[in-house]
């Protein structure tokens, strides 16, 4: 029986993206809990969202780079683009203003690229 090579090529990107979203969810919940006790929560909510987005993008790229084990920068950038596309779509659908959306997308791609390089160069691969 022949293996489906298409799924093998997409596996690092899909798994990295899914685990990146899981990391975002796991970092948003504690941030929301902390912000619920603050009086100026609305001012800090944007910073918490950006931090969780950057952490999720890094994890996304790192997992994809770790699985793929080559071309870390390219893997991370592709994973970062896949990671930020839903954010861009939801921003266009639900947001009244698209302030800093391009900056957030660039941040996602940059952190995922760094994560991809880090995943390829991790000590477990050697």
Inside any domain, residue 126: no
Digit-coded pLDDT (tens) for 44-83: 778 888 889 999 999 999 999 998 888 889 999 999 999 9
Inside any domain, residue 9: yes
How far is residue 21 from each of residues 24, 76, 82, 125, measured CA to CA in Å? 5, 15, 11, 24
Tell me which residue range forms the domain holding 103: 5-121
Inside any domain, residue 48: yes
Inside any domain, residue 72: yes
Single pTM value for the model: 0.84
- Count of domains observed in the chain: 1
Inside any domain, residue 109: yes
Inside any domain, residue 33: yes
Inside any domain, residue 84: yes
């Amino acid at each position: 029986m022949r293996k489906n090579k298409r799924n093998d090529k997409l596996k690092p990107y899909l798994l990295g993206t899914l685990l990146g979203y899981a990391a975002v969810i796991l970092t948003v919940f504690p941030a929301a809990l902390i912000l619920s006790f603050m009086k100026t929560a609305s001012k800090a909510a944007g910073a918490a969202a950006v931090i969780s987005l950057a952490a999720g993008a890094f994890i996304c790229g790192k997992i994809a780079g770790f699985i793929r084990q080559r071309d870390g920068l390219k893997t991370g950038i592709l994973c970062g683009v896949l990671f930020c596309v839903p954010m861009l779509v939801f921003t266009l659908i639900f947001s009244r203003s698209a302030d800093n959306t391009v900056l957030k997308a660039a941040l996602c791609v940059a952190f995922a690229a760094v994560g991809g390089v880090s995943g390829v160069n991790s000590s477990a691969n050697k």
